[in-house]
Structure 1
Amino acid sequence: AERQGYRNGVRPRTLYTRVGPVTLQVPQTRDGSFSPELFKRYQRSEQAFVLALMEMVVQGVSTRKVTEVTEALCGASFAKSTVSA
């Protein structure tokens, strides 16, 4: 079986939010075919990002885990009160 979709680091992607721009670290593949499901190819607004965070909270993911996810994606942390608000 031949491997496909070789990972090739990350690339920065700016997402504009109500509280300012957030730079996400988006994984990329050598052939450039990877597109995250969090937002559409050219989407630059926060709607999908906020909905994903809200869904995590609704599904019972702890605020600590949500903060860890946002740290990994954005390189910045949010206060627990921001996550649960």
Structure 2
Amino acid sequence: MTEIETTGESAVEQAGPSAPPAGLDVQLVHELIEKARRSGVSLVGPDGLLAGVTRTVLQTALDAEMTEHLGYEKGDRTAGRVGNHRNGSSPKTVRTEVGPVRLPVPRDRNGSFEPQIVPEHARRVEGFDEAVISLYAKGLTTGEIAAHLAGI
């Protein structure tokens, strides 16, 4: 069980008086945590709430990038089949602060789509490397960092 599950406090309650990031719906966070608790879903881990939220955010961003690239919404039949269009997806696993996340990265017929949120050939989402460097700078050995990452 995680600390949140054992203490009964939500992450927002533990965070203290600091203000949430702009645009964050605190009530939504409370509802997600409570739903996860009722369902028996862990907050961390490969099938945890944080990995699911991260996957959803990244997938939504990739879909939005494709929509902007092509100039029409997914499923829009008025766009027709003239020019470039969606052409399935390719699976990709990226490493994030909450663990590995598997994503279907959308493709286009011309092969000209280059995602920005999860760039081609990148295996880590921005911020992961900074976390490892920070742990190393704090004096942890590479073995301790590997053990820490395996634990989380």
Shared topology, TM-score over 0.5? no
Normalized per residue, the structure richer in strand is 1
Normalized per residue, the structure richer in helix is 2
After TM superposition, the score normalised by the length of structure 1 is 0.45
The higher-RCO structure (CA 8 Å, 6+ apart) is 1
